[in-house]
């Protein structure tokens, strides 16, 4: 395997300022719809990056579960590594990589915890198995064996034979973007990069900038 020679030439259409929406949320919806139409595997998968107390960056995949003009939402255990990082340093970055379309979206900004009502609404549409898993897993903690995890799962299944309530240690976070960059692969690595930059006064909207590839 020669990684130095491993490359794909991008021959996709370009991304012009005149072709994108006036705000990044509208443009994101357009690109997400295209990813769904292209039958990309888990098009709502995104990499969430945080920084721990020692200044070390961490990244992991999670699923986007809500987006509107307020930001991009995901859900997790509030005692996990990522939640601990965000509680101490409420800033984050997320990346969507739709490689089949030669596209990525990079988002960065402050992160805020969702209120209980929003977390309850999403919890209610999760499958029972996922709800039980939310109780059973002490996410990011050392696990002596998988058998112990499955025993805990069975215990929770018996504890809640009917409705499974949302655990107090589980809920949502929202990335409130300061920047949203749309990246389109182009030939000769001369990619198109359009970045929306939020004005200091939020009611002034967004500035659209073209970046060098």
Catalytic residue ranges: 189
Q: Where are the beta strands (DSSP E) in 3-102?
A: 45-51, 57-63, 66-68, 71-77, 91-98
List beta partners, residue 175. Answer: 72, 111
Tokens read off for 198: 């939020």
Q: Is 48 exposed, middle or buried (0-12, 13-18, 19+ CB in 10 A)?
A: buried
Axis crossing angle, helix 128-136 with helix 146-159, rounded to the nearest 10: 120
CA–CA gap between residue 32 and residue 134 (Å, rounded) = 27
First-to-last CA distance in the chain? 27
Reference 94, options 40, 45, 54; nearest CA is: 45
Q: How far is CA 152 from CA 137, 146, 180, in A?
A: 8, 10, 41
């Amino acid at each position: 395997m020669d990684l130095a020679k491993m490359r794909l030439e991008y021959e996709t259409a370009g991304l012009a300022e005149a072709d994108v929406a006036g705000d990044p949320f509208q443009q994101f919806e357009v690109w997400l719809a295209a990813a769904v139409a292209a039958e990309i595997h888990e098009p709502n998968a995104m990499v969430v990056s945080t920084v721990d107390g020692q200044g070390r960056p961490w990244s992991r995949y999670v699923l986007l579960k809500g987006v509107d003009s307020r930001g991009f939402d995901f859900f997790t255990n509030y005692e996990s590594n990522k939640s601990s990082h965000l509680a101490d340093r409420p800033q984050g970055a997320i990346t969507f990589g739709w490689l089949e379309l030669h596209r990525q979206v990079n988002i960065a900004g402050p992160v805020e915890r969702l209120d209980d009502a929003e977390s309850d609404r999403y919890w209610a549409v999760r499958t029972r198995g996922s709800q039980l898993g939310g109780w059973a897993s002490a996410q990011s903690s050392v696990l002596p064996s998988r058998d112990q995890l499955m025993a805990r799962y069975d215990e929770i299944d018996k504890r809640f034979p009917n409705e499974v309530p949302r655990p107090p240690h589980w809920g949502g976070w929202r990335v409130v973007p300061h920047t949203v960059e749309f990246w389109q692969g182009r030939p000769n690595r001369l990619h198109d990069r359009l970045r929306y930059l939020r004005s200091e006064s939020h009611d002034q909207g967004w500035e659209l900038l073209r970046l060098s590839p």
